[in-house]
Structure 1
């Protein structure tokens, strides 16, 4: 195998043919089709308390602990959410970590994140954490423009901090920042090869996190480096001989590709993908944790014993306790994600909810389908609202041909004839049903008892 050596160039390679800056970045194709290589075991890691938290008002200690408990309950000892990483810089952060460590949970394991310097490393040692991430910027944008160093000086700095970790028996997780703009063979491969040599000598695994810092990764095939997610993962695994379980993808969503890129990383050899709850994070955010749970379910055909209804509880906690505004159309967690407004869709719901619902959202997420009533709902929409809102099943369902449904529709139509522009609220519909079809409430009470 070819031995790649560091190219200690004097001028940075900024790939201006791909990233001209005054234009939208380009996709360059190389015609090379790489084989899929799905690891036997894949999992999710969480950075809500690190990358996610730094993009919004910091959480309190109580909020961190509560969210950590929720993530544990969601995982439910399945090991699908394997780790969660924390900052250690403030007294508040360290207190939160202490309380979370006292919980004694196996999953998610608590890890930390530091910059590549020995002062930061002391924090990890003092807390007794067994694994830490450490920042290793690897594109020439960062090496030359931010660090103001040469490639050789940069690698030597990174190696020294990893040596310090290994001396203390702590697993290093190397965050290769901005890898989708980095010189893969001239810098990344020589760095990772040295890290793998150190891992072999010490007997301590060294993890490689591929950080798509600006969301520039491209998931589809035959794309040239440095933007190819397939190429990056395949190269780290096969050129640098990094094992599946020690490869992790960390992606941002600047080009709407965070989920696709993370899934692609799984499919081409990375066991781990890094996420945040609801995709919170810098700029457009990180890859959403809840999205990757459903990607995992589709790839593996199971979520083991996870408690997926906790996703709904977490969303409610973020809305009500943290004041975070989850966009209403967000899949799985937005208030409108399974809400039907179109009359023709509502008509399908009346016949069989499987026609227009992605899966049994009530059973899996505790989110029954909802139909909103407006000027376009028609008889089918009103009947569907009644059946879904009151969770009426089988013979208890109200038919759209019921004359009482027509009476409600006339009231709705009159509202819009008088100039109304807003939807009909649920409380208004409740009053109408109570007045016109009171037995619906009786049926609901019978079902509840």
Structure 2
């Protein structure tokens, strides 16, 4: 080709102007994007109308940080609890390993024991990976345990480089590269956690740094994984939003300008601005194969992207669960509440006590006629959670009938209609309760007692389980 600045883009096979080589900008003063992040005001979302293409990889997957980031915000799990949860994740991820990896601390003997016991399970997925301090001794520990990949913290915003580490960008990059080289020399795959990427200088530091990481990976024949960490939850998914807050822009820059393959890009989001799930999905859509999550979103401050949420995001994007057993999600939620003692907020999607429970009488009437009207999908099939109606003063005859049918598993011709005398008797009792000043929802035991009284009055029987 006559013009050396025109090349064939391997991603779309179109002739393209060769991208500018991005060199490190070793600035004297930190760039804190004060116009975007004025500390005494709410952060700004700025648009520059630069639009990058959607480019979802053929294969996408989930990785887990329940035993790393998830343990930084709560009491540590016991070894037995970690192994049990790891078993659950293996079942949830299914034979195709959609939950591909899980990361573990290795600081203490308890941490190492848990990692060992999970490795002894012999599962291909999720692969046990590590999170360690960036030094030679810990790299050797990872290698001696037979763990093939470890996370390394490489903070990339000037907030961290200048204010926390007290370094210049050049000093930070040289330090990080030396640490990654030590890891590569042990034969362990490094996973570089680019902390605070949504406040970093993407083209002045992140892209040049990733270009150097790619060179190191080629030198040692070991690919270097990039985890883009939205540490403060500042990422936004909006088309045309400006970097460093633009999730599409960050993923595009890593993939196209730094040359990081999609399978080596992973998004790690936090939920400070309620965007963890949306941003993780956006990372998939724009070229990251992996999204990093924790069970029920348990993690630092507002938490991480909930793993169970991304299971259903995957199914919506791909049109299939690819072998994932979503019923395990309910088992895990019950285990957290009964064995670990963690109280899941009642309105949490998919796992909260009330996520598919309705109280409004008009909704209950619709559910009685066809549950698709007010249920997001067949929750009984996918989560072992039949749609429920909580009986209160607003439930009406339809709500009470639905509760009876659900509790006693009455279907088809066996189901009780809202016109049944039993339902009328129970409703009379419910009305009396609230007329007397009651304000709380009725319990199952109270309703069962009321149904027994109604059955006696109507000379009918319902079989208690």
Runs of 4+ in 1 over 3 A off after TM superposition: 437-440
Q: Can you list the C-alpha shifts for 1:212-255, whole angstroms capped at 9, x where unaligned? A: 00000001110001000000001100001111100000000000
Q: Which residue of 1 aligns with 2:11?
A: none
Structure 1 residue 250 and structure 2 residue 271: aligned? no
| Structure 2 SS opposite 1:437 | helix
Q: Which residue of 2 aligns with 1:101?
A: 119
Output aligned runs, 1:225-236, within 5 Å. 225-236=243-254
| Contact 1:61 1:92 (C-alpha < 8 Å) held by counterparts | yes
| Contact 1:297 1:303 (C-alpha < 8 Å) held by counterparts | yes
Q: Which of 76, 83, 86 lines up with 2:104 in the alignment?
A: 86
Q: Which residue of 1 aligns with 2:462?
A: 441
Q: Which residue of 1 aligns with 2:92?
A: 74
Range with greater deviation from structure 2 (260-269 or 6-15): 6-15
Cα distance in 1 for residues equivalent to 2:161 and 2:405: 61
Q: Which residue of 1 aligns with 2:5?
A: none
Cα distance in 2 for residues equivalent to 1:71 and 1:270: 21
CA drift at 1:440? 5.8
Structure 1 residue 270 and structure 2 residue 293: aligned? no
Aligned residues: 444
CA drift at 1:398? 0.9
Structure 1 residue 323 and structure 2 residue 344: aligned? no
Output aligned runs, 1:2-13, within 5 Å. 2-13=20-31
| Contact 1:378 1:409 (C-alpha < 8 Å) held by counterparts | yes
TM-score, normalising length: structure 2: 0.94
Cα distance in 1 for residues equivalent to 2:82 and 2:368: 42
Structure 1 residue 379 and structure 2 residue 397: aligned? yes
Q: Which residue of 2 aligns with 1:414?
A: 432
Cα distance in 2 for residues equivalent to 1:38 and 1:12: 34
CA drift at 1:325? 1.2
Cα distance in 1 for residues equivalent to 2:211 and 2:132: 22
CA drift at 1:70? 1.0
Cα distance in 2 for residues equivalent to 1:25 and 1:369: 40
TM-score, normalising length: structure 1: 0.97
| Contact 2:139 2:188 (C-alpha < 8 Å) held by counterparts | no
Q: Which of 305, 314, 319 lines up with 1:296 in the alignment?
A: 314
Q: Which residue of 2 aligns with 1:162?
A: 180
Cα distance in 2 for residues equivalent to 1:114 and 1:156: 19
Cα distance in 2 for residues equivalent to 1:291 and 1:247: 20
| Structure 1 SS opposite 2:46 | coil
Cα distance in 2 for residues equivalent to 1:17 and 1:32: 19
Cα distance in 2 for residues equivalent to 1:214 and 1:432: 51
| Contact 1:390 1:440 (C-alpha < 8 Å) held by counterparts | no
| Structure 1 SS opposite 2:67 | helix
Structure 1 residue 26 and structure 2 residue 47: aligned? no
Structure 1 residue 147 and structure 2 residue 165: aligned? yes
CA drift at 1:430? 1.2
Structure 1 residue 339 and structure 2 residue 360: aligned? no
CA drift at 1:435? 3.2
CA drift at 1:117? 2.9
- Gaps (5+ residues) in structure 1? none
Q: Can you list the C-alpha shifts for 1:336-382, whole angstroms capped at 9, x where unaligned? A: 00011000000001101111011110111001111111111111111
Q: Which residue of 2 aligns with 1:396?
A: 414
Q: Which residue of 2 aligns with 1:62?
A: 80
Cα distance in 1 for residues equivalent to 2:412 and 2:368: 10
Cα distance in 2 for residues equivalent to 1:186 and 1:123: 34
| Structure 1 SS opposite 2:250 | helix
Cα distance in 2 for residues equivalent to 1:229 and 1:437: 59
- Gaps (5+ residues) in structure 2? 1-18
Structure 1 residue 279 and structure 2 residue 291: aligned? no
